Each structure stands twice: as structure tokens, then as C-alpha cells.
Amino acid sequence: MHRKIIHVDMDYFFAQVEIRDNPKLRGKPVAIGGSSDRRGVLSTCNYEARSFGVRSAMPTYQALHKCPELILLSGDYSKYKEASDQVLTIFKLYTDKIQVVSIDEAYLDVTDSKLFFNSATLIANDIRKTIKAETGLTASAGVSFNKMLAKIGSEINKPDGLCVLDPINYKDIIPDFKINCINGVGKVTHKKLIENGIHTFADAMKYTKLDLINLMGSFGPSIYDYCRGIDAREVTTSYERKSLSVERTFQEDIKEVNDLEYRLRGCYEEMIDRLKKISERIIKTIYIKIKYSDFKQTTIEQGINDLDFKHFFSLLVERLRQREVEINVRLIGVGVKFHSEKLKGQLSFSF
């Protein structure tokens, strides 16, 4: 029997909450994150901002260059958490098999639901209507028989849309999907796939599993399955996050330490913002990650829970000094590792 999976994704969530609470912002380009001094990166933006080429994770200075009229808000996490909790409460009306992926998205397994004659499509539509009625926010949903296709479906008719990829129609639809629809295909992986002529699912289907293993290593079998609509992952109702990180790949390799410090700070600010969403976790280690222009990568960590930026920058400087030759940097990242979830406590932020 095919499973019935729904992926619900709130539309431009943080910005949408702000617009809901301040209707004067409606119809104007709005972004959350960054800072007024043009440093940092955006957390999210609405579709009016996206029409100018602004997108999440974009440096603030670049976003303001593309859209000088962009309304930049620092954001209020307590409001977003409250709205997220409301949405989760709504999900629980339909199933207890819920995998919360982030503050604004989740998978729901409704395979055994008796609601709406066990129609996942009707359930998804009702979820969206209920969210709109009770929170004033819109959500998009994807309905399918596995997690991968449900997630892709939730992106197809955004915003405020629904897409169904069922066991009958999916084979006719997915061959044209872009290969970077697959979760885990980032910029570097995407570039490598493109260089080998793999632009779409149909292109990937021309390769054998061994070909993809030789090309993409351990990720090869997943690509082989995903491009055929195969995904056996279950909707898991709980898991323990072991780490959290933010990284950036640069369009051009960077050599100057001052420039690297600036990019590192952008990653750091986004990481701090994301850590506030899981403030009950206790940090045991901080670390940074560097990938050089020759694609070799390295990490360096320190066993402390002090999140002052100076500690991350010190790790960066220490690792750069250890280079035997001067090599430009193509990726930089920051991260933390957590103690077991059994150890409860509050993060102590130091700035």
C-alpha cells in the first residue's frame, strides 16, 4: 500500500507574520534579518522583494542594491514561534505522525487517517484552510506517496498552493524536474551534475547506479533513487539534532582575511538566529569549516559554549595560519555541536 504524505510549508513565514500584523506592509518588498548598517544576511523575504532578485541568505548590502526600497525588519522570534505553535496544534487535529523539519515546515503521514474518506488531497486542502482561518497565514502543500515528492510538490504552486504527485501521474511529471529540486543538491553538487550533463531527473535516469556512485560518491545511490521517485524514508516523529551549522559558497574565491571575516560574520549571525529556535540545547563545541579553491576542506573546533564571535574568528585565523601555501577560500562555515538532549538547559549568548 502506498503511503500518503503531506509536506506543509508556510509561505515566506517570518515576513508573512510581519505583514499580517502590520497591513501597511502589504504589497511592499519586505525582508527579515540583516542589519541597518548593511552587514549580515537575510533570513527570508516576501514575493514582492523576490521580484527584484532578493532572496533568503543574501547579504544585506546586495539585497539593498537590488531593491533600494526594501523594508528591512530585524524580526521578532517570539511572534514567529507563537504562530508556529498554532500551526503545529492544527496539524495534530489531523494526525499524530508529524515530523517538524523547521519552524515553518513539516511532514504529515496521513496513511491511516479516517478523515475525508482517507483522501490526502482533501486533508491537505483542509489543513491549509484551517491555517488561514485560525492564523491569517497562507501555507503551500505537496501531497505524494513519499517525502521527497511531497516536499517538491509543496514548492510547485507557491504561494498558497497545492500540488499532488500520485502513484499514477508522477512518472509523467518528474522527468522534467530540475536536478537541484532534490534536497541535498547544493551549489557545488549541482555544478558537478551540470558539468556532467545532468540538468533534470530525466538526465540522471540515463546513468546507472554505479555511474552515479563513481560521479557523486555516497550521494550517488540517493540521486539514482530520487530521480525515479523512490524514497523509503519514514516520517519520524522525533530525532535528536547533534549539530547546527551555516555555510556559504562564494561566487569568486577569497584570499583577504578581512573579506573572510566579513563573510564569517554573516554566517555567524544567521547561526545565532537559528540557535534561538532551539535554545534548550546545550552546546559543547564550536567549530568553523573551510573549503579551499582546490576543493580540499578542513574543520577546526574548540570545546567551549561561549558564542562570542571572537572565538569563531580566532579559529579561522588559526587554521589559515596553518596553511603551507597560500590557497584561496571558496567556502566558509560556522557551527556548533550539542550535548545529548538528555542534558537540558538554556543557552547563554555572549556578544
* Strand ranges inside 166-264, DSSP E: 243-254
**Beta carbons of 135 and 17 less than 8 angstroms apart:** no
CA-nearest of 218, 233, 169, 179 to 202 is 179
DSSP at 59: B
Q: Which three cell numbers stand for residue 109?
A: 503521514
105 is an active site residue: yes
Residue where the block lists cell 496544534 = 89
Which positions ≥6 away from 39 have C-beta within 8 Å?
60, 61, 262, 265, 266, 269
Question: DSSP characters for 75-126?
Answer: --HHHHHHHHHHHHHHHTTT-S-EEEEETTEEEEE-TT--GGGG-HHHHHHH
Active-site pick, 105, 247, 269, 270: 105
The H-or-E segment that residue 285 falls in is: strand 283-292
CA separation for the pair 133, 114 (Å, rounded): 23
CA-based end-to-end distance of the chain: 53
CA separation for the pair 81, 312 (Å, rounded): 28
**Beta carbons of 121 and 136 less than 8 angstroms apart:** no
* Strand ranges inside 149-277, DSSP E: 162-165, 243-254
Long-range contacts of 109-117 (CB under 8 A, 24+ apart): 109/3, 109/4, 109/5, 109/234, 109/235, 110/4, 110/5, 110/6, 111/1, 111/3, 111/4, 111/5, 113/4
**Beta carbons of 291 and 189 less than 8 angstroms apart:** no
Residue 132 amino acid letter? K
CA separation for the pair 57, 266 (Å, rounded): 9
Which residues does the annotation mark as catalytic?
105
